[in-house]
Chains A and B, each alone.
Chain A
Amino acid sequence: MKEKLLFFTTLFVLALVPLFGGGCSAPASHSNVSIGEALPDFSLKDLQGETHTLRGYAGNVVVLEMSNIECPWSVGANPDLIDLQNRYADEGVVFLGIDSHATKTVDEIRAFTESIELNFPMLKDVDNVYADVLGAVTTPEIYILDKAGKLVYHGAFDDRKQPDEKGAHAYTENAIKAALAGEAANPAEVKSWGCTIKRK
C-alpha cells in the first residue's frame, strides 16, 4: 500500500517537471512599476517651457502616453487620444504625452503637435530619464493612474492590427472608465507591438 502511494506520488511530482523545467512560464514584465503602485513623480517641461509634475495632478485620473512623432504606431493613436481628451476632459481626466526619444528636439516635436492640433500637453523627457524610471520601452505605451495616483492600467492603447486602424478592444478608454468609477481595469496590462524608444 505504501509502495503504491509512493509510486503515484512520484508520478504526480514528475508530471510537474514540464511546468517548472520546460520553460512554459509566463514572461516577466519589463516595467519598473506594478499595477496598484504609485508612479514616481516627475518634473518635465512641455513644449512651451512650462513645468509639469505628476503630483500637480493629484486627485485626477491621469493618462500618460509615451509618445514618438516618428513612430507610425504612436502617430496613429494620436487622433484617438485627442478624441478621448475631448470626451473626458469635463470629468477631470488629464492627458499628458511624454516624448523620451533622444533624436527629436523640442522644436521638431512642437511643430508636429501643432500640425495635428494636439489638445493636451506634450512633455519632453530629456535624456530619457523618466522613461528609465518607468522602464518604458515602446511607443505608444500607456500608463493610467486613478485619483489616488495608483497605476490601474499599463500597456497598449488598444489592440489595433495596423498603426492607424482602431482596434476592437479599447483598453485605454475602458481603463479610464474603470478609474473614474473607482474600479479595477480589465485587462490591467496588455503588451503591444510598437517602436523602441531611442535612448541617449
Chain B
Amino acid sequence: MLKNTTTLLIGLFFVVAIVGCKAGPTVVWEAQTVDLTDAAEIAAAIQSEKGKVLVLNFWASWCLPCVEELPALSSFYEQYKGRGVTIYGVSLDDPDTLESLIKPFIAKNNIPYAIRVLTDRDVDLVSQAVKTPITGALPVSLIYDRKGRLVHSQEGLITLEMLEEFVKPLL
C-alpha cells in the first residue's frame, strides 16, 4: 500500500516540478500595439508564442544600429507573418517617454509588429526571462523555434539576409 502510494506521489511530484516551472499566463502582444512590459511578461510572451517562430528584438531609439535594422525587421515581418513568424520588439527607451517619444517614433518608422517598453532594467532578470545570458549590448535579436526553444542569438545589427538564413529553416 505504502509502495503504491509512494510511486503515485513521486510521479505527481515529478510532473508538477517540471510542468509547474513552465506553465504561466498567456501573453500575446498584438501587432502594432505599444505598451510597457517587464521581464516576467517577456518570459510569458515567449511561452505563449509556441507554435510560431518568434524573433525577439531588443532595441532603443538612441541606438544607431537598432534604428538601422528596423526596415529589415519590418520587411521580414510583412513577408513572413502569414507563415507563422512573429516579431516582438522590446525597447530600452525611457518608459516615461512612451507617449512623447516612443509612439511617435514607431509611427514615423512604420513598425508593423508589437513593441513593448521595458520597465525593469535588470539585465540578469531579463536574461533569465529570455533563457540566455545577454550582455545588455544593443541591438540583440533572439530567435525561438515553434517549440519555444532559443535557436539563435544575434548581438549587433541583423540584416534581412540573416533573418532569412536563421528563420526560414524553422518554418
Contacts and interface: CB of A to CB of B under 8 A. Distances in A.
B117 to A, nearest CB: 12
Contacts of B9: 7, 11
B168 to A, nearest CB: 25
Nearest to A7: B6
Interface string B127-146: 11001111111111000000
Contacts, number: 98
Contact of B156 (A6, A17, A26, A196): A196
Given A23-B131, A27-B128, A159 B138 contact: no
A197 B137 contact: yes
Given A11-B10, A193-B92, A196-B138, A137 B155 contact: yes
A75 to B, nearest CB: 10
Minimum-distance CB pairs A-B, first 3: A27-B133, A22-B21, A191-B123
Interface of A: 3-4, 6-7, 10-11, 14-15, 17-18, 21-24, 26-30, 70-73, 137-138, 159, 161-163, 191-199
Given A26-B128, A195-B63, A195-B64, 18 more contacts: A4-B2, A7-B6, A11-B13, A23-B21, A27-B124, A30-B133, A71-B63, A72-B63, A138-B136, A138-B137, A159-B121, A192-B136, A193-B137, A194-B138, A195-B137, A195-B138, A196-B140, A197-B137
16 contacts: A10-B10, A11-B13, A14-B14, A14-B17, A21-B18, A22-B17, A23-B131, A28-B133, A137-B137, A138-B137, A191-B123, A193-B123, A193-B138, A194-B137, A196-B137, A196-B140
